[in-house]
């Protein structure tokens, strides 16, 4: 059998090769690639390999691609060439035409090799090539003689005492040019850019990288050595030698391309800048925290870029253009700065309609209507009012008829600055935010209960830099009350003896601060490894509980407006890791840990603050909120008609996912998820739910695969998961990977979970 397979493979290779030659134009030969030989014993094997790799990337043209030794794409092109039916056109687009030897310029490639090597210290490099003809196939052998590499012997910077000479010399400590390194033209170019960037921070507005000259001397430096002299070109513009300071700053908050007049006669001074805004569209104080420039200070590119970033970050403006105009006084170089701001439409209305399905067999829709005012009180405030309505309907299964409907209204007001009793300045490129939010939600679970949730919060968001951000809610007040609780639901509490059911409809009152820290570099796609970390701490009634002596276990419950308030500390952390295997595939991992410590006036975390597990963004082989806590197994649920949501005080979860690109916009996924939730303490009716030393034996796990349709603006995700470890089974029977059977209809109906979602799970 193996021998027959080998013959078939060999036959396929021969057939493919013959067909590729068969379709060549008359008199033409197929170019099959090039080989590079380095003939210089002074270059070690590691350097030779690096040189070959670099020079190979410079060869033009590149031969037709190979797959397992076959030029498969060329074969697709050949067999479909000239045919007009749909299938042939489809195949032809995925092929590639033959690369002909007539398109190869051996002498030009040799010159490119020689030039590149000379730019990288091999001043005596020579290269030549010769063709090798085999029938109608031609390859090229290039022979490269590198010669010795030249290294830097001495490095010199300007020694004159002029301001520009001194500034250039002052950058030497961070020079990219190092004594002992190989000569490299690319490094010299980068050094010129570095010096220019540094001088732009010191007021040399008209200076640029082309004004720097690096002279090379190999005659007085020793064998295979060079001396490098960093100098300023003599023909450099006179303005480039001067340090420019800022004279006046002008801001146009309502600019359009039709504006041609500078309108300086209508400029109004505020603080140390002028605002040209005849219609008074915005309060001038708004720009106080935006402007990085100040009159009298030297021009600074970092301040320049920061101001542009802050103007955009302010919110009301979609375009920002700036200009610096020479306004020098005799003997005093100065610049006037002009900022032209083009605003968005002040008010906007947006409607979103979303269809969804969940792993709990709910199918539903969500509609959101949002109204925005980007400059509500003429201080760049963003006022948003959103109306939400959603329905999740279950037409079959155990939960049939217990639909979930949600309506709500959310109002938020955001200021692009810190609202505090004292003035707080930020040095970041990003403006801080002060947020005030009011929200009301009504959740109706048909035939069971209604939950009314009121929430108010006030706090700050700010970015320390492009990687680190902070979110501080000075106070967050949440009140949840249950109404219209049906007899069926109260009877189910008594029947199941499950305290979780009772906990859902308990009134909840929480108030206190929350702080969140986030670090991420995931926006830097060029990196092989990227990370995301979020740490969060939330508090409720800690100080009040301590002062009042609240102690539920001791019989000293404390109430506000007739409701027991919740007292707790909640900690959460999430770490994500992404590894780019290549340009088309990625490995992703996530670990999450959260714990809530209730004490004083509480023995259990409020339901709205508890943890849940399972579902499309969690354990994808289990239905939403169906796992845990611990090894707890709901009993006596057959008569209540619905599945209760399981919740806990502690959560651990880990996910691994391999994401290869399949074709076009379609990506695949192979994943494994593991985790569970637990209660901090034991509770009657919840056997096996408390966190203990055997928690690892209660971990749930699943595996699965899926597709992602990435259309840039959104990612549509489908996942099919199945359990491989069930914590609610008896010990010794929890691993069920040996029972996986995709051919068994009974197994599929009980274990396969389909998830349809928007966006990646992490």
Q: What is the pLDDT of residue 2?
A: 47
Helix intervals (H) in 394-484? none
pLDDT level of residue 636 (50, 70, 90 thresholds): low
Domain ranges of the chain: 28-63+99-145, 151-241, 245-343
Q: Are residues 408 and 451 in contact, defined by beta-carbon separation less than 8 angstroms? A: no
Residue 261 has pLDDT above 70, yes or no: no
Tell me the three state secondary structure of residue 430: coil
HSE-CB at 418 with a 13 A cutoff on CA atoms is: 15
CA distance 590 to 531: 10
Tell me the three state secondary structure of residue 462: strand
What's the mean pLDDT in 237-248? 95
Residue 397 has pLDDT above 60, yes or no: no
H or E element, residue 92: helix 86-93
pLDDT level of residue 9 (50, 70, 90 thresholds): very low
Query: Both tokens of residue 569?
Result: 């500390």
Query: Both tokens of residue 658?
Result: 């391999």
Q: What is the pLDDT of residue 85?
A: 79
Say how many C-beta atoms besides its own lie within 10 A of residue 562's C-beta. 7
Query: Both tokens of residue 360?
Result: 């709990």
Residues with Cβ within 8 Å of 206's Cβ and at least 6 positions away in sequence, in order, are: 237, 239, 240, 242, 244
Residue 531 has pLDDT above 90, yes or no: yes
Phi, psi of 468 (to 5 degrees): -115, 130
For residue 278, the 8-state DSSP code is: T
Q: What angle do CA 275, 277, 282 make, to 5 degrees?
A: 90
Q: What angle do CA 318, 320, 323 make, to 5 degrees?
A: 170
Predicted TM-score (pTM) of the model is: 0.80
Q: Are residues 401 and 394 in contact, defined by beta-carbon separation less than 8 angstroms? A: yes
What's the fold here for domain 151-241? Ubiquitin-like (UB roll) (3.10.20)
Residue 637 has pLDDT above 50, yes or no: yes
CA dihedral over 715, 718, 723, 726, signed as positive or negative: positive
Q: Are residues 674 and 701 in contact, defined by beta-carbon separation less than 8 angstroms? A: yes
| Chosen CATH of 28-63+99-145 out of 2.60.210.10, 3.30.420.40, 3.10.20.310, 3.90.1150.10 | 3.10.20.310
Q: Mean pLDDT of all residues in the chain?
A: 88
What's the mean pLDDT in 91-114? 91
pLDDT level of residue 375 (50, 70, 90 thresholds): very high
CA distance 24 to 345: 60
In 3-state terms the chain splits into helix, strand, coil percentages (rounded to 5) of 20, 40, 40
pLDDT level of residue 258 (50, 70, 90 thresholds): low
| C-alpha radius of gyration, the chain, whole number | 35
Dihedral, 748, 752, 756, 760 alpha carbons, nearest 10: -150
Residue 83 has pLDDT above 80, yes or no: no
Query: Per residue, what are the HEC states of 646-667?
Result: CCECEEEEEEEEEEEEEECCEE
Residue 259 has pLDDT above 80, yes or no: no
What's the mean pLDDT in 732-752? 90
CA distance 243 to 12: 72
Q: In angstroms, how far is the first alpha carbon of the chain from the final one?
A: 46
For residue 380, the 8-state DSSP code is: S
Q: Each residue of 437-472: pLDDT tens digit? A: 999 999 998 888 899 999 999 999 999 988 999 999
Q: Each residue of 562-616: pLDDT tens digit? A: 888 999 999 999 999 999 998 889 999 999 999 999 998 888 888 889 999 998 8
What's the mean pLDDT in 57-64? 92
CA distance 75 to 98: 9
Residues with Cβ within 8 Å of 156's Cβ and at least 6 positions away in sequence, in order, are: 227, 228, 229, 230
* Distances, alpha carbon 633 to alpha carbons 47, 653, 687, 729, 743, in Å: 64, 19, 8, 8, 28
Query: Both tokens of residue 19?
Result: 């067909």
CA distance 526 to 505: 49
Say how many C-beta atoms besides its own lie within 10 A of residue 480's C-beta. 22
CA distance 194 to 154: 20
Tell me the three state secondary structure of residue 347: strand
pLDDT level of residue 359 (50, 70, 90 thresholds): low
Q: Each residue of 271-300: pLDDT tens digit? A: 999 999 988 999 999 999 898 889 999 999
CA distance 177 to 646: 63
What's the mean pLDDT in 57-76? 86
Residue 738 has pLDDT above 50, yes or no: yes
pLDDT level of residue 362 (50, 70, 90 thresholds): low
Residue 15 has pLDDT above 70, yes or no: no
Q: What is the pLDDT of residue 378?
A: 94
Domains 28-63+99-145 and 151-241 share a fold: yes
Residue that is written with structure tokens 């959460």 in the block? 572
Residues paired with 514 in a beta bridge: 473, 538
Helix axes 86-93, 72-80, angle to 10 degrees: 150
By the 10 Å C-beta count (0-12 exposed, 13-18 middle, 19+ buried), 513 is classed as middle
- The DSSP annotation for 567-602 comes to -EEEEEEEEEEEEE-SSSEEEEEEEEEEEEEE-TT-
Q: What is the pLDDT of residue 689?
A: 87
CA 178 to chain centre: 36
Residues with Cβ within 8 Å of 277's Cβ and at least 6 positions away in sequence, in order, are: 252, 253, 254, 268, 284
CA 678 to chain centre: 31
| Long-range contacts (CB closer than 8 Å, 24 or more residues apart) made by 286-290 | 286/314, 286/379, 286/380, 286/416, 287/251, 289/416, 289/417, 289/425, 289/426, 289/431, 290/314, 290/431
- The DSSP annotation for 148-163 comes to PPPEEEEEE-----SH
Phi, psi of 36 (to 5 degrees): -115, 130
Residue that is written with structure tokens 């310029």 in the block? 105
CA distance 716 to 451: 31
Lowest mean pLDDT among 43-57, 189-203, 529-543: 43-57
Helix intervals (H) in 213-329? 301-313
What's the mean pLDDT in 705-722? 89
Strand 30-38, strand 137-145: pairing? parallel
- The DSSP annotation for 214-234 comes to EEEE-SSS-TTEEEEEEEE-T
Q: Are residues 473 and 458 in contact, defined by beta-carbon separation less than 8 angstroms? A: yes
Tell me the three state secondary structure of residue 543: helix
Q: What is the pLDDT of residue 66?
A: 84
CA dihedral over 59, 65, 70, 72, signed as positive or negative: negative
CA distance 382 to 311: 15
Q: What is the pLDDT of residue 19?
A: 58
Residue that is written with structure tokens 């040019």 in the block? 177
CA distance 114 to 42: 17
Residue 8 has pLDDT above 70, yes or no: no
Q: What is the pLDDT of residue 640?
A: 60
Query: Both tokens of residue 555?
Result: 């019989």
Q: Are residues 709 and 661 in contact, defined by beta-carbon separation less than 8 angstroms? A: no
Residue 426 has pLDDT above 80, yes or no: no
Residue 620 has pLDDT above 70, yes or no: yes
Q: What is the pLDDT of residue 643?
A: 64
**Percentage of residues in the chain with pLDDT exceeding 70?**
93
Q: 603: left (phi > 0), else alpha (psi -120 to 50), else beta?
A: alpha
Q: Each residue of 504-528: pLDDT tens digit? A: 888 889 999 999 999 999 888 778 8
| Chosen CATH of 245-343 out of 3.20.20.150, 3.10.20.310, 3.90.45.10, 3.30.2310.20 | 3.10.20.310
Q: Which of 181, 195, 267, 192 is nearest to 225 (CA)?
A: 181
């Amino acid at each position: 059998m193996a021998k027959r397979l080998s013959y078939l493979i060999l036959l396929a290779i021969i057939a493919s090769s013959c067909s590729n030659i068969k379709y060549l134009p008359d008199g033409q030969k197929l170019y099959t690639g090039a080989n590079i030989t380095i003939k210089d014993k002074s270059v070690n094997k590691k350097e030779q390999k690096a040189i070959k790799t670099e020079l190979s990337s410079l060869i033009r043209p590149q031969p037709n691609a190979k797959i397992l030794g076959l030029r498969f794409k060329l074969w697709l092109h050949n067999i479909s060439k000239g045919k007009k039916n749909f299938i042939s056109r489809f195949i032809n687009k995925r092929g590639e035409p033959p690369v002909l030897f007539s398109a190869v310029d051996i002498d030009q490639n040799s010159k490119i090799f020689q030039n590149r090597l000379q730019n990288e210290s091999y001043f005596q490099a020579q290269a030549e090539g010769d063709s090798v003809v085999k029938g109608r196939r031609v390859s090229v052998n290039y022979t490269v003689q590198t010669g010795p590499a030249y290294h830097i012997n001495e490095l010199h910077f300007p020694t004159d005492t002029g301001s520009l000479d001194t500034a250039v010399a002052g950058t030497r400590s961070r020079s990219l040019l190092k004594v002992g390194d190989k000569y490299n033209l690319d490094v010299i170019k980068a050094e010129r850019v570095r010096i220019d960037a540094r001088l732009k921070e010191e007021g040399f507005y008209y200076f640029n990288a082309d004004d720097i000259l690096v002279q090379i001397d190999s005659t007085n430096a020793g064998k295979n050595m060079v001396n490098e002299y960093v100098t300023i070109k003599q023909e450099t513009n006179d303005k480039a030698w001067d340090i420019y300071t800022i004279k006046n700053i002008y801001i146009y908050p309502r600019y359009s391309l039709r504006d041609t007049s500078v309108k300086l006669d209508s400029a109004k001074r505020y603080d140390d800048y002028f605002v040209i805004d005849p219609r008074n569209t915005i309060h001038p104080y708004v720009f106080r925290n935006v402007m990085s420039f100040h009159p009298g200070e030297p021009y600074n590119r970092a301040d320049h870029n920061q101001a542009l970033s802050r103007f955009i970050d302010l919110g009301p403006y979609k375009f920002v253009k700036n200009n610096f105009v020479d306004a020098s006084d005799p003997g005093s170089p100065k610049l006037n700065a002009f900022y032209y701001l083009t605003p968005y439409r002040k008010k906007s209305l947006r409607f979103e309609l979303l269809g969804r399905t969940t792993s709990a067999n709910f199918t539903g829709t969500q509609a959101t209507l949002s109204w925005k005012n980007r400059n509500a009180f003429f201080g760049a405030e963003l006022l948003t009012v959103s109306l939400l309505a959603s329905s999740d309907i279950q037409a079959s299964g155990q939960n049939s008829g217990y639909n979930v409907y949600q309506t709500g209204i959310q109002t938020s007001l955001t200021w692009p600055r810190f609202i505090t009793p004292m003035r707080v300045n930020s040095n970041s490129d990003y403006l801080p935010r002060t947020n005030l939010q009011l929200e009301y939600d009504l959740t109706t679970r048909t035939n069971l209960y209604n939950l009314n949730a009121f929430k108010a919060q006030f706090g700050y968001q700010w970015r320390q830099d492009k990687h680190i951000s902070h979110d501080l809610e000075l106070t967050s007040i949440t009140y949840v009350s249950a109404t219209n609780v049906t007899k069926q639901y109260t009877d189910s509490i008594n029947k199941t003896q499950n305290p979780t059911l009772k906990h859902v409809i308990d009134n909840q009152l929480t108030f206190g601060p929350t702080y969140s820290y986030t670090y991420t570099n995931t926006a830097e796609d060029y990196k092989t490894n990227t990370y995301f970390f979020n740490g969060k701490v939330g508090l409720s009634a800690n100080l009040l509980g301590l002062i009042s002596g609240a102690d539920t276990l001791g019989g000293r419950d404390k109430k506000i407006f007739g409701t027991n308030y919740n007292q707790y500390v909640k900690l959460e952390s999430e770490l994500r890791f992404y590894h780019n295997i290549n340009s088309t595939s990625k490995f992703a991992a996530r670990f999450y840990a959260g714990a809530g410590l209730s004490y004083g006036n509480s023995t259990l975390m409020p339901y709205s603050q508890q943890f849940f597990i399972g579902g499309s963004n969690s354990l994808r082989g289990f239905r939403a909120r169906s796992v845990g806590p611990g090894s707890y197994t709901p009993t006596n649920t057959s008569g209540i008609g619905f599945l209760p949501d399981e919740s806990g005080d502690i959560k651990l979860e880990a996910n691994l996912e391999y994401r290869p690109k399949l074709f076009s916009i379609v990506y695949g996924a192979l994943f494994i998820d593991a985790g569970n939730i637990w209660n901090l303490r034991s509770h009657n009716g919840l056997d096996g739910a408390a966190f203990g030393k055997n928690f690892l034996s209660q971990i749930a796990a699943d595996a699965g695969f899926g597709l992602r349709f990435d259309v840039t603006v959104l990612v549509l995700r489908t996942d099919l998961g199945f359990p491989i470890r069930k914590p609610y089974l008896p010990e010794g029977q929890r691993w069920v990977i040996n029972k996986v059977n995709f051919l068994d209809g009974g197994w599929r109906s009980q274990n396969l979970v389909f998830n349809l979602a928007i966006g990646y799970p992490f």
